[in-house]
Amino acid sequence: MSQPHEERFMQKIDAEEKIEPKDWMPAAYRKNLIRQISQHAHSEVIGMQPEGNWITRAPSLRRKAVLLAKVQDEGGHGLYLYSATETLGITRDELIEALQSGTAKYASIFNYPTQTWADVAAIGWLVDGAAICNQVSLQRTSYGPYSRAMIRICKEESFHQRQGYEAMLAMARGSAEQKQMAQDALNRFYWPALMMFGPHDAESAHSAQSMTWKIKRETNDDLRQKFIDQTVPQIEFLGLDHPDPEIQWNEERRHYDHGEIDWEEFYNVIKGNGHANRQRLSHHIHAHEEGQWVRDAVNAYNKKHKAARNKAA
Ligand code: FAQ
């Protein structure tokens, strides 16, 4: 027979009430949340690298200002999400250690290189587009701090998606070479963007439990289908070719049928063998070490002021 606190917990979940940091929660709920939210935070922070790579090479001052703001927003998203994870009783140091040692994952997409300016546009359009698809649904997640972070993040991600699509449109309507760059970026980023939603539902280790606890509100395959459906008219409007030769409207399902993802590639990337996995982590470790003096200065300042406050009290 389940315990009263477990019953109360499930009643709250069923009634769409949020679970807050000081509420009782099953240990496995806490563990699963720490895993998902921290991996989400790591994705935002590691996700700054592929686009950050282009800040000094943006084609105009306007594009550079927009890109700088966008990359900075992603860092901010990481910080909200780390804070949300910390409310579950884990420290920032432990989270960073898990990322840097490879124990914790981050989104597979960020292990693909950004070879041309059109890749930056494709990331805004497709990667932020896929991220929003998922995050809109996560605004209704059952854990209060995660849900509130998602509401704020979604507002910024929609701007990111639009700026990416607008940059893609400029390329697609530009010279023949620019249009070709746009097509090439679409071809390379389309399939990895679909992989962002995770394995098929039948293969997804966490989905069933996460759906019961309303940590996740829609399954990997349902969200992926939503993204596939919304992307078809966007590709048409750009005047580009769809990278999936099997894409076809299915009147009965009222969804697009599509080709299969290369799952071998997906598992290879999440195991650490993607094009840029090693580079992404070593860059993070280097930047973290370089920032040690900032953390030392903040800690020294806090210590000094705490001592002064205690003396005054
Ligand atoms: N990459 O059982 P499931 C962004 C792992 S934010 C790497 O289905 P789950 C913003 C999964 O962790 C993008 N690993 O897992 C931006 C698990 O391994 P584990 C990030 C993946 O959690 C834009 C295993 O496979 N968004 O892009 C991936 O129920 C531009 C089994 O999978 C979020 O994190 C993957 N794609 O469902 C920033 C959203 N997929 O942990 C900069 C929140 C699966 O047991 C520039 N997260 N795995 O070792 C989620 O919604 C879920 O965690 C899923 C995966 C849907 C990602």
* Ligand 1 neighbourhood includes 128 CB (under 6 angstroms): yes
Amino acid letter at 148?
R
Q: Are 127 and 49 in contact (CB under 8 A)?
A: no
What's the longest Cα–Cα distance across the chain? Answer: 74
* Ligand 1 neighbourhood includes 243 CB (under 6 angstroms): no
* Ligand 1 neighbourhood includes 107 CB (under 6 angstroms): yes
* Ligand 1 neighbourhood includes 85 CB (under 6 angstroms): no
pLDDT attached to residue 275:
97
pLDDT attached to residue 2:
62
| Alpha carbon distance 41, 169 (integer Å) | 30
* Distance of CA 301 from the midpoint of ligand 1 (Å): 37
Task: Give the nearest ligand 1 atom to 197 CA.
Answer: 56
* Ligand 1 neighbourhood includes 277 CB (under 6 angstroms): no
Helix axes of 277-290 and 27-46: crossing angle, nearest 10 degrees: 90
* Distance of CA 195 from the midpoint of ligand 1 (Å): 9
Alpha helices in the chain (DSSP H): 4-14, 27-46, 48-52, 61-86, 92-100, 117-122, 128-138, 144-172, 176-195, 207-212, 220-238, 263-268, 277-290, 292-312
Cβ atoms < 10 Å from Cβ of 59 = 13
Q: If you take atom 34 of ligand 1, which residue's CA is the nearest one?
A: 40
Q: Is the dihedral of CA 53, 54, 57, 61 positive or negative?
A: negative
Q: Are 147 and 139 in contact (CB under 8 A)?
A: yes
* Distance of CA 100 from the midpoint of ligand 1 (Å): 17
* Distance of CA 196 from the midpoint of ligand 1 (Å): 6
Q: Are 259 and 244 in contact (CB under 8 A)?
A: yes
Residue 72 burial by Cβ neighbours in a 10 Å radius (0-12, 13-18, 19+): exposed
pLDDT attached to residue 300:
95
pLDDT attached to residue 141:
98
Q: If you take atom 33 of ligand 1, which residue's CA is the nearest one?
A: 40
Q: If you take atom 5 of ligand 1, which residue's CA is the nearest one?
A: 198
* Ligand 1 neighbourhood includes 200 CB (under 6 angstroms): no
Task: Give the nearest ligand 1 atom to 216 CA.
Answer: 51
| Alpha carbon distance 187, 112 (integer Å) | 13
* Ligand 1 neighbourhood includes 210 CB (under 6 angstroms): yes
Digitized pLDDT (tens) for each residue of the chain, 313 residues in all: 568 899 999 999 999 999 999 999 999 999 999 999 999 999 999 999 999 999 999 999 999 999 999 999 999 999 999 999 999 999 999 999 999 999 999 999 999 999 999 999 999 999 999 999 999 999 999 999 999 999 999 999 999 999 999 999 999 999 999 999 999 999 999 999 999 999 999 999 999 999 999 999 999 999 999 999 999 999 999 999 999 999 999 999 999 999 999 999 999 999 999 999 999 999 999 999 999 999 999 999 999 998 888 888 8
* Ligand 1 neighbourhood includes 127 CB (under 6 angstroms): yes
